[in-house]
Amino acid sequence: MATPLAERLRPKTLDDYIGQSHLVGPDGVIRKMLENKRISSFILWGPPGVGKTTLANIVAQTLGVRFFTLSAINSGVKDVREVIESAEKSRFFNSEPPILFIDEIHRFSKSQQDSLLAAVEKGTVTLIGATTENPSFEVIRPLLSRCQIYILESLHKKELQQLLDNAIKKDIVLSKRKIKIKETDALFGYSGGDARKLLNIIDLIVSTVPEKQPVVFTNEIVSKELQQNPQAYDKNGEMHYDIISAFIKSIRGSDPDAALYWLARMIYAGEDPKFIARRLVISAAEDIGLANPNALLLANAAFEAVEKIGLPEGRIPLAEATVYLASSPKSNSAYKGIGNALSIVESTGNQPVPLHLRNAPTQLMKDIGYSVDYKYPHDFSGNFVEQQYLPKGLAGLRLWEAQENPSEAKLKEYLGKKWKDRKF
């Protein structure tokens, strides 16, 4: 079987590496570490096909150190310990530690991650992890504290074009073919910023044309070939990003039938059920919000159920939460409210806390006015009394606005009765 184009074009040096200029460009932190021949443990977080594994290989080759690799899918604690033991035996006194690359580190269990701590702490190995999931959700805190997190981004159109040009001009196979690029919208659109996906699409299109005939790329040709053979170029990436997007947007659009369809697509394709459950929790907070606060409770319950029972039974609480969220009234008022608040904080800096809102655990604090004139709401009728809670320079600021749904109408009515001079 011929070596895939993505593997043939895998970069060997930073100068050949396309994308992630914030990390490997002239001022990039990883380039600077390599120039200084010193590198610390880090985790690469980003979508599939953006060069996480390639970057780890380049780091090891540039430093000239041993490179151990484990996949979280098929490696256990025993495998981790064997690699660490081998690393200890192979290291000389002043030599740089070998690199241990763990692909899909988010799939490592707590015990597997615990087994790494001592080796990373002592410098027995330099850990490079790769993950498509937010490390703060899946990587234990002690390990996170020992690693820097570097975020990799999907490739931009300019970078995809550079990758396409390199493939046609430099690849040992494609450079011998007559290739004409008439249109790139479909090619780049289907790739979704994924370098591996782009190269796999190119490979697929070229393979459908006899060797002596020219290969022409148009939007129509690319779309037709991918519709006829959609899994030939992408086994997981489309499901993981495009379908989860369709899933969330179907919930947001109050279409339970479409949401269930996309849920089924993800389950059928083998998506991690906890990934789906996390997105349901986010959707409940972001899109349903105060219009139906029970949605967040149900989404959290579904997440806990999936953690306990897994698949296939976990599909039932996932479906229950999906239908409930899609059928609920929608509001993003809390989402917009915190966005407004963060913008104000960013623009106004650290405004002082009003003295009457500060605690006064010592006599000195009381003497200088801490907590003086604070009115305890429960001492007043209706457990409410008007007073200033915002910093002095932000008095009267409005950040949250009720939206049109029964739940928030009640909140608006309640607040309107209390704060007679404010509009909600």
pLDDT per residue as tens digits for the range 313-369:
999 999 999 999 999 999 999 999 998 898 888 888 888 888 888 888 788 878 888
Contact 120, 127 (CB under 8 A): yes
pLDDT at residue 232 in the model: 43
pLDDT at residue 241 in the model: 67
The residue among 115, 58, 61 whose CA lies nearest residue 84 is 115
pLDDT at residue 92 in the model: 65
CA–CA separation, 189 and 126 (whole Å) = 37
Q: Which residues in the chain land under pLDDT 70?
A: 1, 91-94, 227-241
CA–CA separation, 72 and 379 (whole Å) = 57
* Exposure string over 254-293, b if 16+ CB within 10 A, otherwise e: bebebbbebbebbbeeebbbbbbbbbbbebbbbbbbbbbe
Helices (H), 270-405: 273-283, 294-309, 315-327, 333-348, 363-367
pLDDT at residue 73 in the model: 72
Q: What is the mean pLDDT of the chain?
A: 87
pLDDT at residue 138 in the model: 78
CA–CA separation, 237 and 226 (whole Å) = 14
Q: pLDDT by residue (tens digit) across 145-177?
A: 889 999 999 899 999 999 999 999 999 999 999
Q: Hey, which residues does 260 pair with through a beta bridge? A: none
Torsion, CA 98, CA 102, CA 106, CA 108, rounded to 10: -90
The residue among 420, 397, 421, 424 whose CA lies nearest residue 412 is 424
The residue among 45, 2, 8 whose CA lies nearest residue 196 is 8
pLDDT at residue 44 in the model: 94
pTM, entire model: 0.58
